[in-house]
Amino acid sequence: MLLNGSEILIQCLIEQGVDTIFGYPGGAVLNIYDALYKYRDDIRHVLTCHEQGASHAADGYARSTGKVGVCLATSGPGATNLVTGIATAYMDSIPMVAITGNVTRPLLGKDSFQEVDITGITLPITKHNFMVRDINELADIIREAFRIAQEGRPGPVLVDIPKDISAQKGAYIKQEPVKVKRKTEFITDKALDEVAKLINQSSKPFIYAGGGIIRADASEELMEFAEKIDSPTATSLMCMGGFPVTHPLFTGMIGMHGTKASNLGAWECDLLIAIGSRFSDRVISSNSNLEGAKIIHLDVDPAEINKNVKVDASIIGDVRETLRKLIPLVEKKNNNEWTEKIKGYKDSVKNLNSKKEELTPEFLFEKINDLTNGEAIITTEVGQHQMWASQFYKHMKPKRFVTSGGLGTMGFGLGAAIGSKVGNPDKLVINIAGDGSFAMNCNELATAYAQKAPVITIIVNNNALGMVRQWQNFFYEERYSHTSINRGTNFVKLVEAYGGKGYLVEKREELEPVLKEAINSSVPVVIDYRVHEDKKVFPMVAPGALINQIIYEEDV
């Protein structure tokens, strides 16, 4: 059938199973928005307040559903406003297709109104990007974008469409959605045998699971594998929920703000098994952090093998398929002495929360856990509150913890919460924020209200840029340069101005009834939860320190 470029685009999106687009209109995408009006019964468009909000919403939608997130922006500043969101998705391997408009082809390269080289700008932060220059290539480019975004290590793809292409007529023939193949060609018998041999020889194995477990839907396989080899298991920030926090083998998050059991487990093991993780500098980024242990790395991306840490054996391929083939080859173990030692580290951690009467992050998550039992989708902004959310929430299932890990994007959480709620309308969505981070994109409260997305934002309010202040305390001799926030923002009135409900919590007894009201609200809610500005995140490993050089709260 003969359609214009915008109609071909929308038909291809429908063909790929897209039900929602997050975006903001403008001149270069007017033709596309006209097509969205025509197909409004087939695709929902979520109008955000800012293109960055659209990119974060598409990201949150993707993380919480496992589908490709789609965002749309006009040329020039509209396209550049997507960049931070695209980079966020790239760093965390999130499948996203970002569609931008551009000036007509005759005006390209002439510094035309609202023209930028968005393909050049996003080259380092996308798996691939396309400039559509021929109407006859448009449909195949969209299909290829969806394949690339999902196949292997997922990531964002950008498609830039000049305005004359979106208006030009072309042929469209409907096709089936692209079939994404799991990467298995390098999962060889030789590699499997080599890895299995090391595992079978180990008496003190330790599993370090990363976000690749979530992306590959490999949580069940991870648990089966850990149980068979009787291995303590830690997760990175990006894998929270990929292994149930209540499982006896779970040691908690690993890394800079990881648990004692996780960090010492990695330090003292004789075999570290990294699965779907990239050995980042916030976790383990050098062999000096592993005291003579042998290292196995299972990952879909060959570029990650031996990039930061030299390993003894590796398997390149989809981690779910790798684990399925590896499990029958490993011996069932009983490492009781080793697991009891790690359990001792877990049990030795003091519960400092019970001794306090003031509001603390621990108390906040104790009440959230009581009311949600790990069933909520938790999104976060970036900062201390993000670490507390990872440490204290009862993460039980994958795709329920939505946070910016690699890029550490402040302002991410609210947009991500909206995307998560749109993709999961029957689930409770709670955004954990800091007063600094929340202020960056708080305008998206208007989007939440307009879209009838009653997300809850809990601001852990310390009147400071808490994580930066913590570093100033430890590493800059308490020179608190521009990290105190004295803006006088009334967050209760702010959310009310956007049509939502606001609550101020200053005493412990106020929290539970407020949470219950918020959970039952039909409009967006903001809870201003006041904590002391000197509250810090512990445990902590200083930058550049070894993973066993842990600072505890009682040490300070």
Residues annotated catalytic, as ranges: 51, 113-114, 163, 467
Give CA–CA dist 91/241, Å, rounded: 19
The residue written with tokens 């109609």 in the block is 7
Q: Say which amino acid occupies 52.
A: Q
Contact 474, 543 (CB under 8 A): no
Contact 361, 231 (CB under 8 A): no
End-to-end CA distance of the chain: 71
User: 154: how many CB neighbours lie within 10 A of its CB?
Assistant: 26
What φ, ψ does residue 36 adopt, rounded to 5°?
-60, -35
Q: Tokens representing 451? A: 């879209």
The DSSP-derived string for 150-198 is: HSSS--EEEEEEEHHHHHSEEE----PPPPPPP--TT--HHHHHHHHHH
Contact 45, 34 (CB under 8 A): no
Residues 6+ apart with CB under 8 A from 135: 5, 8, 165, 168, 169, 170
Max alpha carbon distance in the chain (Å)?
A: 72
Contact 200, 299 (CB under 8 A): no
Q: Tokens representing 71? A: 């965002």
The H helix count followed by the E strand count for the chain is 22, 22
In DSSP terms, 21 is beta-bridged to: 45
Contact 235, 209 (CB under 8 A): yes
Q: Tokens representing 321? A: 């398929």
Beta strands in 400-532 (DSSP E): 401-402, 429-434, 456-461, 501-505, 525-530
Residues 6+ apart with CB under 8 A from 333: 205, 228, 229, 230, 231
Instruction: Using CB atoms within 10 Å of the CB of residue 19, give its burial: 0 to 12 exposed, 13 to 18 middle, 19+ buried.
Output: middle
The DSSP-derived string for 217-258 is: T-HHHHHHHHHHHT--EEE-GGGTTSS-TTSTTEEEE-STT-
Give CA–CA dist 504/495, Å, rounded: 12
